[in-house]
């Protein structure tokens, strides 16, 4: 290697870095891919939010294309999202809620289920109810298994109970077009 | 930007959630140590840039609870980290995984050190011979006497 | 109205920067004295107009002029008056105004204090600073103007200063940090001027040394203040988080430390010239890179300037022009440089450079660790995190050879050091430091290997430093001089080095003891409950409501007893700032020479208990004390007679035109 080429190395390294920084400007640093894609729904046994006598397992997702929406009444963005979910529901999409409560310390919970149910009823009466039913993630174990880091998040699950998409943040027409629409159409056609 | 505000609101509302750390107790002091180590090295997936030990966001509290449970069940460090990575990806652990790309994190500094040390050693020059400096000294002496 | 004047002043400052970048450079090229003489008044003008602009913004803050978008976003009527002064740099736009103010201040300082330096060199240096200034002023006027108005509809009250910044540490942290960041522009300008003129002898190294040391000392203080602030304000009890915002300042600090030492070698021995020039470019480039990382939002960090791709794009353009341009110039010119000094393998040159290698490797580690997650993701390989485990591991590996060389360097002679003599000294030094480290470590019931290693390293630095002083004064002592007199013989710059190295050792002691022997407890407590840590008993006395000027707070009190004797009452707060709807923690800390008692208030639980963090942190204050001592070393160095030579010469007139003639 000639001596003069040695002195070019810093310049090349810098240009490489600058290229990545340029790309980085146009992508969201918080955006990250989910590890659950193409995985079957994790096992669970959880009650229905409104009727705790009913119990669901992962098998409840078999046979139907489902949008599983993680939400809670305490979540500001969820309230913004629900009107759009209503629209999806009117278009015939099967939306299931995965509800978890923030105030309940799983080990020291003092809030009664009745109170949670009342809050949910009030909220949905106000915004509309897009959910076929809500699974109540009592101790947030299912959320953890699903890699949920907050609300809202939405999963697209196929007829075999396999997770195909995991979206962090709210659903809106733009996100639907970009991430969900094509895949969803394909799934529905296939069935 | 708006999203950031919302995330922030979520994180802040999460502050209202009680942390009862004393329930993270272990019979075995080694497990306590492991728990403290893990909570410092696992990243809160929703926060700006915080480990789960420092964060009071709900997800951090839930992850701490899970780590506590897993450690108590006798899982070792690697098992707990794998459990978290399966759910939250490599992102959740502050030590990067080793792969064909990340190996450069260690290789580049190493190569740099080896390369530059070689350069310094090879580019050294022997100072003038003893005789030279002796002669130089003599010359100086002569000059001095002249003054 | 004043705001418009402030804006206008900025435009004029930009114009002056443009002129400053052209005239003196052209004058130096054409040997035109008058053009070169324009440099000084232009630099002064740039500073004065920037200062006026800064004054205008301060005035807008003090008078609650919420028609300025920036004031409305970063201040409020209820904000205490002293925070209105400091809130000027509480957000992106204002902090950048402070940045350019400090930049113009450095430029003026160079213009005024460069009497002993050839006119051509000064003219080139100032022109380069002017050129860099164009970028800064343009950036502010185009993308981040603090004087933008919210007219015709403006809010009655502002959104308040981020409560995190309503704090003493934050008042002085940014100015110190910027003094350091921007200060490296001077060393950069000297290096580029030397490259342009083709005169890469050791003179530029000598001239830029005091400037580099000054900037380094400020950056050291800025970093220490930031770390101290994070410790007591964020409520987690940590002092360093390897967050991108910290790394952004740490990268130029590491490169600057390397530069400082490399400049010494180049000045004294005329070797490693091209390496030193490279470091001068690197230190300032990393300052700019750090600014980009923080202000563009490309990385997830606890530091939150509102991110905006437009701004990011502008700074990136600036980086490409400034860094890319100077590196291209470097590639063109540096290959012609030949080092003429001679040295052997066992010599001070080699040890200092060895040190430089490890400092630069540390810089590379921080740059890699900070940028790699971004690269990894952009290559489609997924999101990864690089944090404390990685950096701690790498720094543990790097610090051992680093400190080893740090002890060797000062003890050795230039050119050629007899290995036998050195070997004997080192053996003694190693024995002493091992003994000291083991003695201290034995005080702890569960001694840690890492702490032992760290202590050996710290004492290695201390012992070798003392040996070096002894070695230096031995000739004088043998001539019958007293100890004090022979110590006084040593130059200030020598004391600077000694102080700097001892400061580093103090800091290292703090780091390894606090890392190994901190005790942290997170507990839930009801009034009257107590916790025991080491010999301390912490008794929770309950929580009281308190009303501050622009916040309300819960104050938790904990009484501390040591072996049943009352020590102190810790008061920690949870403040709620209604304007920003933000909750902030204020830790309760009792600082001591050997330990800090730390308490932070968590949340109230459903049954009325509180969750509380109680930590005992041994020797943590030594970290910041060490940094302060290091900065003090910088002050000693700058005050050395050599750097005032220019002035002395001038005072003495032309009679002794060659100051350092051998007698």
Structural domains in chain B, sorted by start: 27-92 (1.10.8.640)
| Average pLDDT value for residue range B41-52 | 88
For C579, residues 6+ apart whose C-beta sits below 8 A from its C-beta are C76, C78, C157, C158, C159, C160, C550
Query: Mean pLDDT score of chain A, rounded to an integer?
Result: 87
* β-bridge mates for residue C595, sequence order: C618
Residue A172 located in a structural domain: yes
* Cβ partners under 8 Å of residue C111, min gap 6: C39, C40, C43, C44, C122, C126
Interchain contact, B108 vs C522, CB within 8 Å: no
Same domain, C183 and C326: yes
- What residue in A sits closest to B82 (Cα-Cα)? A35
Instruction: Indicate if the pLDDT at residue C632 is higher than 70.
Output: yes
CA distance A125 to B120: 76
pLDDT of residue B66: 92
- Is C422 contained in some domain? yes
pLDDT of A105 reads 55
Say if residue B9's pLDDT is above 60: no
Decide if C334 and A32 are in contact by the 8 Å CB cutoff: no
**CB of C102 closer than 8 Å to CB of C51:** no
Q: What is the pLDDT of residue B6?
A: 39
Q: Is residue A108 part of a domain?
A: yes
Tokens of A186: 């394909």
Q: How far is C476 from chain A (nearest CA, A)?
A: 46
**Nearest by CB: A29 against C300, C382, C605:** C300
The mean-pLDDT minimum among A29-43, A121-135, A172-186, C500-514 falls in A29-43
Span of B21-35, B89-103, C126-140 with lowest mean pLDDT = B21-35
Q: Using pLDDT thresholds of 50, 70 and 90, give the confidence band for residue B7.
A: very low
Residues from chain C that touch A4, judged by Cβ atoms under 8 A, are: 331, 335
pLDDT tens, position by position, C25-43: 998 888 888 888 889 999 9
For residue A1, tell me if it sits in a domain.
Answer: no
CA-CA distance, C637 to C503, in Å (whole number)?
A: 14
Spell out which chain C residues touch chain A, with contact meaning CB-CB distance below 8 angstroms. Answer: 274, 278, 281-282, 285, 292, 296-300, 309, 312-313, 316, 319-320, 323-324, 327-328, 330-331, 334-335, 371, 374-375, 377-378, 382-383, 605-607
B72 at the A interface (CB within 8 A)? no
Q: Is residue A119 part of a domain?
A: yes
Smallest CA–CA separation between C430 and chain A, in Å?
A: 38
Higher pLDDT, B38 or B20: B38
The reply to whether C158 and C196 lie within a common domain is no
Token pair for B114 = 């080896």
**How large is the greatest C-alpha to C-alpha distance in chain A, in angstroms?**
79
Residue B23 tokens read as 């329930």
Selecting from B18, B120, B127 the residue whose C-beta is nearest the C-beta of C606 gives B18
Say which of A7, A26, A29 has its CB closest to residue C331: A7
Query: Does C502 reside within a domain?
Result: yes
CA distance C382 to chain A (A): 7
The whole model's pTM is what?
0.90
Torsion C256-C258-C259-C261 (CA) sign: positive
Q: Are residues C468 and C570 in the same domain?
A: no
Alpha-carbon distance of C318 to C132, in angstroms, equals 9
Q: What are the phi and psi torsion angles at A119 (to 5°)?
A: -60, -45
Check CB contact of A74 with chain B, cutoff 8 Å: yes
pLDDT on residue A106 = 54
Poorest-pLDDT segment among A60-74, C356-370, C599-613: C599-613
Please state, for a pLDDT cut of 90, what percent of chain C lies above it. Answer: 53
Model pLDDT for residues C103-114, shown as the tens digit of each residue: 999 999 999 998
The CA angle A140-B58-B70, to the nearest 5 degrees, is 60
Spatial separation of the C-alpha atoms in residues C133 and A74, rounded to whole Å: 49
The count of structural domains within chain C is 4
Task: Pick from A76-90, C325-339, C606-620 the range whose average pLDDT is largest.
Answer: A76-90
Q: The domain that contains A163 carries what CATH number?
A: 3.40.30.10
Question: To the nearest whole angstrom, how far is the Cα of C581 from the nearest Cα of chain B?
Answer: 9
CA dihedral C268, C269, C275, C277 (to 10 degrees): 40
> By C-alpha distance, which of C404, C399, C403, C413 is closest to C468?
C413
What phi, psi does C391 have (nearest 5°)?
-65, -40
Candidate from B22, B36, B97 with C-beta closest to C384: B97
Which single residue is written with the structure tokens 């130029």? C252
* Cross-chain Cβ contact B18/A108 below 8 Å: yes
Average pLDDT over residues C16-27: 93
Average pLDDT over residues C205-229: 94
Between chain B and chain C, the number of residue pairs with CB atoms below 8 A apart is 150
Residues C137 and C88 in one domain: yes
ipTM for the whole complex: 0.88
Kindly report the nearest CA distance between residue A22 and chain C, in angstroms: 7
- In a shared domain, residues C435 and C469: yes
Q: Say how many C-beta atoms besides its own lie within 10 A of residue C638's C-beta.
A: 19
- Is the domain of C534 the same as that of C615? yes
- Domain total in chain A: 1
Helical spans, DSSP H, in A40-172:
76-90, 113-127, 141-145
Q: Does B125 touch chain C (CB under 8 A)?
A: yes
Highest mean pLDDT among A102-106, A181-185, C229-233, C362-366: C362-366
Query: Is residue C644, in this structure, part of any structural domain at all?
Result: no
**Cα of B94 to nearest chain C Cα, Å:** 5
C-alpha–C-alpha distance, residues C583 and B72, integer Å = 33
Contact A35 B62 (CB under 8 A): no
Same-domain status, C268 and C307: yes
DSSP class per residue in C63-102:
TT-TTBHHHHHH--TTS-HHHHHHGGGSSHHHHHHHHHHH
Share of chain C above pLDDT 70, in %: 95
Stretch 63-122 of chain B: residues touching chain C, C-beta under 8 Å: 89-97, 99, 101-102, 104-106, 108-109, 112-113, 116-117, 120-121
Task: Give how far Cα C507 sits from Cα of C256, C511, C514, Å.
Answer: 18, 6, 11
Residue A21 counted as domain residue: no
C331 and C473 assigned to the same domain: no
Q: How many CA atoms within 13 Å lie on the side-chain side of C181?
A: 29
How far, in Å, CA of C392 to CA of C427, rounded? Answer: 28
- Write out pLDDT tens, residues A124-182: 999 999 999 999 988 888 999 999 988 899 999 999 999 999 998 888 898 899 888 88
Cα–Cα distance list, B117 to C195, C361, C388, C521 (Å): 25, 11, 27, 45
| pLDDT tens, position by position, C153-173 | 888 888 888 888 888 888 889
Q: What is the mean pLDDT of residues C497-526?
A: 92
C177 and C289 inside one domain: yes
Per CB-CB distance under 8 Å, the chain A contacts of C296 are: 21, 25
Q: Using an 8 Å CB-CB cutoff, list chain C residues near B18.
A: 602-606, 611
Task: Supply the range of the domain harboring residue A148.
Answer: 33-190
Round to whole Å and give the CA distance between A3 and C336. 9
C95 touches chain B (CB under 8 A): no
Q: Are C182 and C102 in contact (CB under 8 A)?
A: yes
The mean pLDDT value for C573-595 works out to 87
Model pLDDT for residues C444-484, shown as the tens digit of each residue: 878 888 899 999 999 999 999 999 998 888 888 888 888 88
Please tell me the predicted confidence (pLDDT) of residue C168.
83
Peptide bond just before C152 cis, omega within 30 deg:
yes
Do the domain assignments include residue C157? yes
Q: Is residue C402, in this structure, part of any structural domain at all?
A: no
pLDDT of residue C663: 31
Domain span at residue C626 reads: 418-517+622-634
Residue C649 placed within a domain: no
What's the pLDDT score for residue B138?
Answer: 59
Residue B80 to chain A, least CA–CA distance (Å): 13
Same domain, C130 and C226: no
């Amino acid at each position: 290697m000639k001596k003069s080429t040695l002195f070019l190395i810093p310049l090349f390294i810098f240009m490489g870095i600058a290229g990545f920084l340029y790309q980085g400007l146009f992508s969201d640093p918080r955006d990250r891919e989910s590890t659950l894609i193409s995985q079957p729904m994790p096992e669970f046994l959880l009650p229905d939010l409104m009727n705790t006598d009913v119990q669901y397992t992962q098998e409840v997702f078999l046979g139907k294309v489902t949008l599983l929406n993680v939400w809670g009444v305490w979540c500001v963005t969820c309230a913004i999202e629900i009107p759009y979910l209503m629209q999806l529901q009117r278009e015939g999409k099967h939306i299931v809620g995965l509800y978890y409560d923030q105030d309940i310390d799983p080990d020291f919970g003092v809030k009664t289920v009745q109170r949670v149910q009342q809050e949910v009823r009030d909220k949905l009466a106000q915004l509309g109810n897009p959910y076929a039913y809500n699974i109540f993630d009592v101790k947030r174990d299912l959320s953890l298994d699903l890699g949920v880091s907050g609300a809202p998040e939405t999963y697209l699950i196929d007829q075999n109970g396999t997770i195909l998409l995991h979206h962090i943040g709210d659903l809106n027409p733009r996100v639907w077009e970009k991430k969900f629409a094509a895949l969803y159409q394909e799934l529905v056609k296939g069935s | 930007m708006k999203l950031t505000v919302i995330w922030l609101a979520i994180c802040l509302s999460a502050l209202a959630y009680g942390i009862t750390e004393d329930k993270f107790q272990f019979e075995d002091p080694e497990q306590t140590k492991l728990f403290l180590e893990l909570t410092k090295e696992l990243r809160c997936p929703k926060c700006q840039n915080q480990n789960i030990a420092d964060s009071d966001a709900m997800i951090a509290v839930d992850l701490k609870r899970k780590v506590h449970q897993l450690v108590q069940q006798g899982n070792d460090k690697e098992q707990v980290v794998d459990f978290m990575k399966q759910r939250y990806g490599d992102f959740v652990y502050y030590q990067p995984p080793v792969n064909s790309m990340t190996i450069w994190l260690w290789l580049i500094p190493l190569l740099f050190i080896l390369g530059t040390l070689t350069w310094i050693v090879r580019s050294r020059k022997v100072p003038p011979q003893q005789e030279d400096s002796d002669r130089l000294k003599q010359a100086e002496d002569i000059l001095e006497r002249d003054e | 109205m004043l705001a418009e004047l402030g804006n206008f002043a900025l435009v004029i400052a930009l114009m002056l920067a443009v002129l400053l970048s052209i005239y003196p450079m052209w004058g130096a090229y054409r040997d035109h004295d008058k053009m070169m003489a324009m440099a000084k008044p232009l630099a002064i003008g740039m500073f004065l107009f920037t200062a006026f602009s800064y004054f205008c913004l301060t005035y807008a803050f003090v008078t609650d002029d919420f028609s300025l978008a920036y004031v409305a976003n970063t201040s409020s009527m209820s904000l205490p008056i002293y925070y209105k002064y400091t809130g000027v740099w509480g957000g992106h736009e204002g902090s950048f105004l402070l940045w350019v103010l400090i930049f113009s201040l450095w430029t003026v300082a160079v213009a005024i204090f460069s009497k002993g330096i050839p006119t051509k060199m000064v003219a080139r240096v100032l022109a380069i600073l002017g050129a860099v200034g164009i970028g800064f002023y343009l950036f502010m006027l185009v993308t981040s103007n603090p004087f933008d108005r919210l007219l015709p509809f403006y809010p009655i009250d502002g959104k308040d200063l981020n409560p995190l910044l309503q704090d003493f540490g934050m008042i002085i942290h940014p100015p110190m940090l910027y003094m350091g960041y921007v200060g490296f522009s001077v060393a950069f300008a000297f290096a580029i001027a030397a490259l342009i003129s083709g005169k890469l002898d050791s003179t530029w190294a000598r001239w830029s040394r005091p400037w580099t040391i000054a900037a380094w000392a400020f950056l050291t203080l800025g970093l220490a203040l930031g770390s101290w602030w994070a410790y007591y304000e964020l409520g987690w009890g940590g002092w360093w988080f390897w967050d991108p915002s910290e790394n952004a300042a740490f990268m130029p600090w590491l490169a600057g430390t390397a530069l400082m030492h490399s400049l010494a070698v180049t000045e004294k021995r005329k070797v490693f010239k091209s390496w030193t020039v490279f470091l001068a470019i690197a230190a300032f480039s990393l300052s700019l890179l750090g600014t980009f990382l923080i202000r563009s939002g490309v990385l997830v960090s606890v530091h939150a300037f509102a991110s905006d791709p437009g701004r990011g794009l502008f700074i990136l353009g600036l980086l490409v022009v400034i860094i890319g341009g100077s590196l291209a110039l470097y590639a063109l010119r540096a290959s012609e440089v030949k080092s003429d000094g001679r040295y052997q393998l066992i010599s001070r040159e080699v040890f200092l450079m060895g040190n430089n290698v490890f400092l630069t490797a540390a810089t590379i580690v921080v740059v890699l660790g900070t940028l790699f997650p971004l690269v990894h993701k952009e290559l489609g390989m997924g999101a990864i995190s690089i944090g404390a485990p990685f950096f701690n591991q790498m720094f543990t590996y790097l610090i051992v050879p680093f400190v080893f060389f740090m002890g060797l360097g000062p003890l050795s002679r230039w050119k050629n050091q007899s290995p036998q003599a050195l070997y004997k000294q080192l053996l003694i030094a190693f024995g002493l430091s091992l003994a000291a480290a083991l003695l201290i470590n034995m005080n702890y019931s569960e001694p840690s290997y890492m702490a032992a290693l760290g202590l050996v390293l710290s004492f290695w630095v201390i012992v070798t430093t003392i040996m070096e002083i002894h070695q230096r004064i031995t000739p004088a002592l043998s001539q019958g001089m007293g100890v004090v007199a022979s110590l006084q013989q040593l130059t200030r710059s020598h004391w600077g080095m000694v102080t700097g190295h001892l400061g580093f050792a103090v800091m290292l002691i703090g780091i390894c003891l606090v890392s190994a022997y901190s005790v942290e407890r997170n507990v839930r407590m009801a009034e009257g409950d107590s916790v025991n840590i080491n010999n301390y008993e912490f008794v929770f006395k309950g929580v009281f409501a308190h009303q501050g000027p622009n916040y309300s707070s819960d104050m938790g009190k904990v009484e501390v007893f040591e072996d049943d004797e009352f020590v102190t009452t810790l008061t920690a707060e949870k403040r709620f700032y209604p304007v920003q709807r933000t909750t902030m923690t204020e830790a309760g800390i009792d600082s001591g020479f050997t330990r800090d008692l730390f308490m932070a208030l968590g949340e109230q639980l459903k049954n009325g208990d509180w969750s509380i963090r109680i930590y005992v942190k041994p020797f943590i204050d030594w970290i910041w004390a060490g940094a302060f001592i290091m900065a003090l070393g910088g002050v000693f160095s700058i005050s050395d007679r050599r750097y005032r030579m220019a002035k002395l010469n001038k005072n003495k007139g032309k009679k002794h035109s060659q100051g350092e003639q051998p007698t």
